[in-house]
A and B are shown apart, each in its own frame.
Chain A
Amino acid sequence: MKRSAKIFLGILFSVFVISCTQVMKVDLPVSNDKVVIEGYVTTQTKPFGVKVTKTVALGNTTGYPTINNALVIIADNVGNRDTLGLVTSGVYLTSSPKTGVVGRTYYLTVKIDGVTYSAQDQIHYLAPVDSFYAVYLTAGSGFGITKNGYYTFYNSTDPPNQKNYYMYKVYRNDISVLGPSAIGVFDDRFLSPVIIGARLPGKYSSGDRSKLELYSLSESGYNFYNGLATQLQNDGGFFSTPPANAPSNISNGAIGYFQASDVHVDSLLIP
């Protein structure tokens, strides 16, 4: 093909499908800093943890300030109560490993300079992952796959007659596949009671290690993470919903979430 025709087609095509971005400088509305709380109780045996930080103005490059003088307590509905100790900046852990119990409700209390923030969440049952496996797929073989490689799948069940909410985290060689701008959260609206071959994100090569963490969520947990996911994926555009704050379960105007989850962890080595 003639070079000029190539150039013409190239221009034509770029005009049609490509839009461009440009970094802008703008004056933003001012708003006050907020307390941010991130807390976890899971059925994995390890210390319960809570991180307490503050928001920063957009464009600030000094990092997130931590709060190191908080009193952090996690209790449950059968009378257990632990005070968490500060281990590094803003991070509070129980002194010994703990195991969350399915069905129990957990209560978080964080006191900062005389202000109390509280939250609660219940651990919902998570059906076990029956198998976690990798399959080599070629581009164009369905699943929206455009590159040859190994892809991971899992089989499980979705308990019927109740609403189930899920979150997954997938790691390739201990690095998050989704990255910081996506959250793997879903409900069972479209799920079959017997799940065979649910595909997980990420493409692997031989020798890679894949790790799957599957979490159960409460409805409020789903709403929070779904809100987070929506906002992180929001291009602010014309066809997107207006960015909104992820609905927190923490009282008194703090943002963030206190999550209680049943967890299944599985990993595999790509052949």
Chain B
Amino acid sequence: MVFSLVFFLGIFFSSMAQKYTLSGSIKDSSNGEVLIGASVYIKEIKLGVATNDYGFFSINLPKGTYTVVVSSLGYNNFEQVVELNADFRLVVNLSEAIISFKEIVVNGERTDKNVDDTKMSNIQMDIKQIKKLPALFGEVDIIKNIQMLPGISVAGEGNTGLYVRGGGADQNLILIDEAPVYNPSHLFGMFSVFNSDALKSAEIYKGGIPAQYGGRLSSLLDIRTKDGNDKKFKASGGIGLIASRLTLQGPLKKDKCSFIVSARRTYADLILKAAEAAKVVNNPNIKGAQLYFYDLNAKINYKLNKNNQLFLAGYFGKDILGAAGFGLNWSNATSTLRWNHIFGSRLFLNTTVFYSNYNYQIGSTSGSDGFKWKSNLKEVAFKQDYSYFLNPKNEISFGVGVSYKTYQPGKFIPDKSNTTFKEFSLAPYHSMEEAIYLSNKQKLNSRISVEYGLRYTLFQNIGRDTVVQYGGAINNDSITGSKAYKPFQLIKNFNGLEPRISSRYRINEKSSVKASYNRTFQFMHLLSNSASPLPTSQWIPSTPYIKPQKADQAALGYFRNFKENEYEASAEVYYKYFYNALDFKDNANIIANRNIETEILRGKGWAYGLELFLRKNTGKLTGWISYTWSKTKLQIPGINSGKAYYASYDRRNNFNIVMSYDVSKRWNISANWVYGSGRPLTIPVQLYQFAQSNVGYVSGRNNYRIPAYHRMDISATISAKKKEGRKNFGSWNFSIYNVYARKNAFTVFVRDKNFGTTDHPIYKDQKELVKLYLFTIIPSVTYNFNF
């Protein structure tokens, strides 16, 4: 299929008039890192292209003399005149823009990407900037910064779940170097798995998801790690309140081969031990408790020659929690091998093989009830992504992908000394997924650009498995038997055809209107029955009884830049409809239940909203202001008496302001303020007595809203003086989280009055409503260094 496609394209293109190709790559001059999304603009034809995810660009032009202007956010522009009378390969090294504090800042040509690009509902994060912003416990987290963007909702204080335009936390395709991460959270979501030291770029798509990516309904978060400095050896790191980080990078062979290793470990457990030793903590329940996580990112890249480059990248992260004989740990591992190949000068191919594994284990130490419970999800995949730079007006992308997944819901292994429980294992699920896509980014004329594509996915639930048969309704009483399937034998096929289109109409130099539509399918489902997924939440594939989920989204936006692109502004509205939205029956039994379809209900959902965004990327003052008004509802027969209800992450108003100001070369001060309307949750409205207990009676799903959330954080960063010839320098970051110490409700619930006191009443019919709050004011300090 691929080859015939290439062949077809070959014929198509060879019939075109003779032209020459200007291609190449854009890099950071200090460390050789390629720059993603850098703009390459040809003045004479008033057209430009952007570098792809591997820093490569290509543009096909008639013979002539051209002025090439290269620009990228945070770098000085580069201009070169090129005489094009043969194919030309250009490597541009951009130097970092340094703000002058003596004179008025003038930065001539800023990119007008915000207005010009066909992409909408998409934001690229500036990794350097986020390191200056305030952070909880001083631990910089890309996900927490993404949560302050419009259209992205936060479910709870400090939680790293992303709820994008009405989608659940399980509807985000989160990729690290092209490999999906199935549980991107540490410490129950307090931190994400992404160590900011290792990251090169992070881009979130809330809509207009390119046809290259599929598999999740609501968003794509494309995270790429650094390739490693190919010029000189560097060490950097940081020491913070709860974690330390160390990154080593350097050339193995100058300009040819480089590596990077980045590690992070928290030490809450070490603090606990010290606290116990000092007798400031004396709680037997947490004595000897284990509570830590670590991350390790590693990457090697090797430039074989100008047309071939290899990347080998790995991520491993683990959380370990344990106290009083019980333990829970979970880990993610991904590894990616990529090969970039350039055919001629216009066809770029990236071939990826990746492996991703998520697993968790619960255990209890020995005794007659000691046990281990293990579960995992493994994926092995292969994909090929081609970009063909046809001419300055057309950039074609196409590719294929195959993936094999094994989902082990759980194995229960009693200890040898265990005499109470028996060993058992739930049969794993298996699936194959094949996808093919084709898309084109086309500049129709000076005003209109369109990116259109189609993605087709074949998803197969396969053996080995034993599939339960139901006679009629799907419940435990209607089981009529079961059917066994051999390894790789087809159980059920699912098809998904996903059209993706985004278009831009340029009104004038400063403004444009954009519209997009995309359909997405999700063939795997996360079994989570709470507002936030748990590390123990299980992924399962679509099966004969669990249909794939589907979403349609349309968005319309107005984009305008001010003051010569110094300020970027946008206003977008969206409407999204969810088909086969999943939820669980009341009192669903989802633990160790292989017939999970008996507990699942299916319905529909819809979400709509308005997003306003103003961002300033350059100058002494940078930052953004965002406002979102949104509504998300679900209607699932069997829940809330069949009536529509608000999703548990539905927040009407969200407002964020993020500001960072460089006071001098050495000083930076930053602040942010976040506001979110209260999220809905379910609370009992009546009480009754049963046996000894006071029990709540619930009138409906999500019948109450917790109070609104708001918080202000501030930080100051001071860097050591940079001196001529001085190689190492450090910086201190002081952060204060929740400056005005607001006791924001994390949740609200009903409990017995006098709970936990010695005179806990047994027959007293009194309950009270309480709010739980996590953090008030938290100061933190972090020291970062560079050698």
- A residues contacting B by CB (< 8 A) are 1, 5-7, 9-10, 12-13, 15-17, 19-26, 28-31, 33-34, 36, 38, 53-61, 63-64, 139-147, 153, 175-176, 179-181, 183, 189-199, 223, 226-228, 230-232, 234-247, 255-257
Interface stretch, picked from B18-26, B253-261, B273-281, B305-313, is B273-281
Task: Please tell me if the beta carbons of A64 and B688 are within 8 angstroms of each other in the complex.
Answer: yes
Q: CB-CB < 8 A to A5: which residues of B?
A: 278
Chain A residues positioned under 8 Å from B747 (CB to CB): 235-238
Residues of B participating in the A interface, judged by any CB pair closer than 8 Å: 155-156, 159, 188, 241-242, 268, 271-272, 274-275, 277-278, 280-281, 284-288, 324-326, 364-371, 412, 414, 418-422, 424, 529-532, 534, 584, 586-589, 592, 648, 681-704, 743, 745-752, 755, 760-763, 765-775, 778
A180 and B762 in contact, given A28-B704, A58-B685, A58-B769 (Cβ under 8 angstroms): yes
What 9 pairs between A and B have smallest CB-CB spacing?
Answer: A236-B749, A197-B368, A142-B367, A244-B586, A196-B419, A10-B280, A192-B422, A227-B587, A55-B686
Q: B275's contact among A13, A57, A198, by CB below 8 Å, is which?
A: A13
- Give the docked Cα–Cα distance between A26 and B530 (Å): 23
Q: Can you name 24 A-B pairs with beta carbons within 8 Å?
A: A1-B277, A15-B778, A16-B271, A26-B748, A29-B704, A31-B699, A58-B683, A64-B689, A142-B370, A144-B364, A145-B325, A179-B762, A183-B691, A190-B422, A192-B418, A192-B420, A195-B419, A235-B747, A236-B683, A237-B772, A238-B532, A240-B530, A243-B682, A244-B587
Q: Taking A15-B775, A192-B419, A243-B682 as contacts, is the C-beta distance between A6 and B280 under 8 angstroms?
A: yes
Q: Are B750 and A58 in contact, with the CB atoms below 8 A?
A: yes
A70→B588 CA distance, assembly (Å): 34
Out of A24, A140, A179, A181, which one reaches B770, CB within 8 Å?
Answer: A24
Complex Cα spacing A112 to B314, Å: 69
Rounded to whole angstroms, the CA-CA distance of A24 and B704 in the bound complex is: 13
Given the complex of chains A and B, what is the CA–CA distance between A20 and B692 in angstroms? Answer: 27
What is the bound-complex CA distance between A140 and B367, given in angstroms? 11
Partner of B769, one of A23, A228, A235: A23
Residues of B within 8 A of A59 (CB): 768-769
Contact of A21 among B326, B765, B770 (CB under 8 A): B770
Cβ contact within 8 Å between A238 and B686 = no
The total of interchain contacts (Cβ-Cβ below 8 angstroms) comes to 271
The closest CB in chain B to the CB of A141 belongs to B367
Chain A: which residue is nearest B772 at the CB level?
A21
A226 proximity list for chain B (CB < 8 A): 587, 589
- Complex CA gap A188/B773 in Å reads 37
The answer on a CB contact under 8 Å between A180 and B752 is yes
**Given contacts A142-B367, A181-B693, A193 and B284 within 8 Å (CB-CB):** no
Complex-state Cα separation, A12 to B420, whole angstroms: 41
Known: A13-B271, A198-B369, A236-B748. A34 touches B772 (CB 8 A): no
CB-CB under 8 A for A53 and B419, given A21-B771, A238-B156, A244-B587: no
**Closest approach, in angstroms, between the C-beta of A107 and any C-beta of chain B?**
20
| B586 and chain A: residue at smallest CB distance | A244
Compute how far the CA of A28 lies from the CA of B763 in the bound complex, rounded to whole angstroms: 24
A5 to B277 Cα, complex, angstroms: 12
Contact (Cβ within 8 A) B368 A58: no
Task: Give bound CA distance, A174 to B325, whole Å.
Answer: 29
Our pick among A9, A58, A198, A238 for the contact of B687 (Cβ within 8 Å) is A58
- Given contacts A16-B268, A234-B749, A241-B530, A144 and B324 within 8 Å (CB-CB): yes
Q: Which of B326, B586, B689, B767 is in CB contact (< 8 Å) with A144?
A: B326
- With a cutoff of 8 Å between Cβ atoms, the chain A residues found around residue B274 in the complex are 9
Q: How far is the CA of A203 from the CA of B338 in the complex (A)?
A: 58
Q: Judge whether B687 and A60 touch: CB under 8 Å.
A: yes
Task: Give Cα A180–Cα B763 distance, bound, in whole angstroms.
Answer: 8
CA distance A12 to B280 in the complex (A): 11
Choice from B241, B745, B751 contacting A12 with Cβ under 8 Å = B241
- Complex Cα distance, B758 from A175, in Å, reads 14
**Taking A9-B278, A180-B693, A256-B690 as contacts, is the C-beta distance between A244 and B772 under 8 angstroms?**
no
**Closest Cβ–Cβ distance, residue B424 to chain A (whole Å):** 8
Query: If the complex has contacts A10-B275, A57-B685, are A26 and B695 also in contact, measured as CB distance less than 8 A?
Result: no
Residues of B within 8 A of A243 (CB): 682-684, 696, 698, 750
